[in-house]
Amino acid sequence: MKKKLLTVLLACSLIVGTLAGCSGQEANVATDSKESTQNTETSSESNTDADPGDAAVTATNLSELTLGSAMAWETLTPFRTMRVWVNVYSRLLYDSLAYFSADGVLMPVVAKSWDVESDGVTWNIEIFDYVYDSAGNHITADDIIWNIEEHMAQGLKPCFNQIDSVEKTSDYSFNIILVQDMVGIMETVLMNTYVVSRAAYESDPDGFNTMVI
């Protein structure tokens, strides 16, 4: 009889202890939830007190991007050679007439449109009329024509050797006449014509060797 009584008492104590443990966990959960709610409310109040324009001002002030290269640059000129590693970094300095997107589509950059005539060698190019460099120089067809002719004269990029002549048709359009109809040449020319202002380039005694506008 005593053994049965002890067994019953032990079972009751275990049940009470278990309930007490559960009650304690529930209390802890309730306390954590309450503290979390209070923290959320405090955070919301802090955000409400903050000036909503702060983030925009911070972003606006980011006007300089510093990049590093493990390879030495011999020059910053837009008339550089077409070595692959140079092309990768030079595109961060200059806008080109057009450029291939990640999915392989040739996209307008400074050039607004381009099309070829029935002879297969005459290309009509139009550029956007609102392009300016960082010094405020307005880019027109004259700048692009000078750029292409300078590429032809320096002969550092083979694709420009395939151009016979360049002719202005308006303030924002011109024709490029190729030596022959060759697949891919016009796309390469559009990508490798790094747009600069003639006035800015010629006013730099260093020829954009160490500084770029």
pLDDT digits (tens, 9 = 90+) for 12-68: 454 444 444 444 444 344 444 444 444 444 444 444 444 444 444 444 555 777 777
Beta bridge partner(s), residue 127: 111
Residue 18 carries which DSSP code? H
Q: How many structural domains is the chain composed of?
A: 2
| Shared domain check, 100 and 195 | yes
Asked if pLDDT for residue 135 goes beyond 70, the answer is yes
Residue 157 domain flag: yes
Residue 101 — φ and ψ, nearest 5°?
Answer: -75, 175
Same domain, 46 and 89: no
What are the tokens at 165? 């002549």
Side-chain-side CA neighbours of residue 20 (13 Å): 6
pLDDT at 118 over 70: yes
Mean model confidence pLDDT for the chain: 77
* pLDDT greater at residue 6 or residue 143: 143
Per the CB < 8 A criterion, the answer to whether 197 and 144 are in contact is: no
Measured CA to CA, the distance from residue 213 to residue 204 in angstroms comes to 9
Residues 97/110, Cβ–Cβ less than 8 Å: yes
Same domain, 192 and 102: yes
Q: Which residue has the tokens 């306390």?
A: 31
From the list 158, 151, 205, the residue with the least C-alpha distance to 184 is 158
Does residue 55 sit in the same domain as residue 90? no
**Residue 17 falls within a domain, yes or no?**
yes
- Per the domain annotation, does 165 fall within a domain? yes
Residues 88, 122 within the same domain: yes
- 11: containing domain: 2-60
Full-prediction pTM beyond 0.95?
no
Question: Alpha helices of the chain — where are they, by DSSP H?
Answer: 2-49, 54-60, 84-93, 141-154, 185-192, 198-203
